[in-house]
Amino acid sequence: MSIQTLGLNNYQKKLYIYGPKGTKKFIEKIYDAFIHTKKINMEVFEVYGKFLETKDFFLTALPLEHDSPTNGYSFEEKEKIRINKAKLKKLKISGKSPELGKLALGSDIKINGKLIKAKDLTYKQRGKKISFIFDTRLCDNARKLAKNSRLAIIESTFLEASENGKELAQEYKHLTAAQAGKLAKSEKVEELILTHFSQRYEHKEKLLLDEAKKIFKNTKISEDFMTINLED
């Protein structure tokens, strides 16, 4: 939904917009050119590095290499302390005990007069990472964003195997499906979703999928309303 449409529909909430350097000026130009109704309440942030953080996750933005300013993004869960259920069972401790929540905070507890040390019954679980890499040629920041991602959503605008595919990708600063596959493989991504295809491959997306899968097997093509289960 466009900013203009939000204004026409009397949008009441505050809209937060995040983007690369130059986003504020771009939004101002949109207002000057198109908005002739009530302006909505919004705040624009030009972001770089870690720009949003909660107790559970954080978001990172890094500039990519394209003809116009563009960012790639990553969403990362923070490391969590988990309770080892197998050890609980072995010690005959009920998993419903209200004291167990203290273990997850790193505190020792007493159950039935017995001291239970947090370090003996817990372990650290690395958080999941999702990366979003669009509108770029291959660059260091694309590699940083993709590194160790549970899921990487990466553009594959061109087919490298097609005529001048690699050259066109370099000229227009985009990636080929093969480059997306190589990026996922080199940065130890677990699952790759291809997106942002040139119109020349309309109804031929399987060519892009096949090219990437030759390099990185766990690859899928993006689809409207697609859902991905990231549970372990």
Domain positions in the chain:
12-46, 47-79+126-232, 81-125
Tokens (6 digits) for 30: 């949109």
Q: Which helix (H) or strand (E) holds 111?
A: strand 109-111
Beta-carbon count within 10 A of 89 CB: 11
The per-residue pLDDT for 80 is 87
**Is pLDDT of 115 > 60?**
yes
* Alpha-carbon distance values, 40 to 6, 7, 8, 202 (Å): 7, 6, 9, 37
Q: What's the token pair of residue 20?
A: 């690369």
**Separation between Cα atoms, residue 164 and residue 155, nearest integer Å:** 18
What average pLDDT does range 89-110 have in this prediction?
77
68 touches 26 (CB < 8 A): no
Distance CA 40, CA 9 (A): 10
Q: What is the pLDDT of residues 141-196, one digit of tens each?
A: 999 999 999 999 999 999 999 989 999 999 999 999 999 999 999 999 999 999 99
Q: Does CATH place domain 47-79+126-232 in 3.30.420.40? A: no
What is the predicted pLDDT for the residue at 144? 98
pLDDT (0 to 100) of residue 35? 55
**What pLDDT is attached to residue 58?**
98
